[in-house]
Chain A
């Protein structure tokens, strides 16, 4: 069974702190996406990475796709309460499945 493991599962931090969320798999993906889901809402796409080693920045968020395209990380600088939510990674185009596989999720709480 395909699995994208995210760590940590839960994270509570103070406003202004930095954090990194990891998304790991034993499978190779052709692309990987990161979503944020706020309470009462559906996930919203933040970024798609497609090239091994690729780094993308979205304001205070930095996304990296591993060289081997099996893992990814999301780094948030100077977290704000508005960053609170469930962060999901999702991999597409794995070699033995054509489904979009979602990660286990990281629930982030940023306190003022």
Chain B
């Protein structure tokens, strides 16, 4: 079955540490996205990519980095520069002009 897979489901980060969240899709979708979800704030866009080797900043890109070396993969790195990383992170993909498919999310907690 085609779908989008995020891993891990839960992730713990120590202060000053970089961590990488994985997002893989086998839907042959062109575009991929990372959103952050905090209570009371809905989903906010971190980064998105519409084609391999190209990506754009979203509304809250500071402290995050991404890469898009393969069509199927769009990993998100939460760097030590992100001062408040505890949140729920959702990855999504879409065909250009089509609907979104979301992953099941990663819960990141700073310990």
* Genuine A/B complex: no
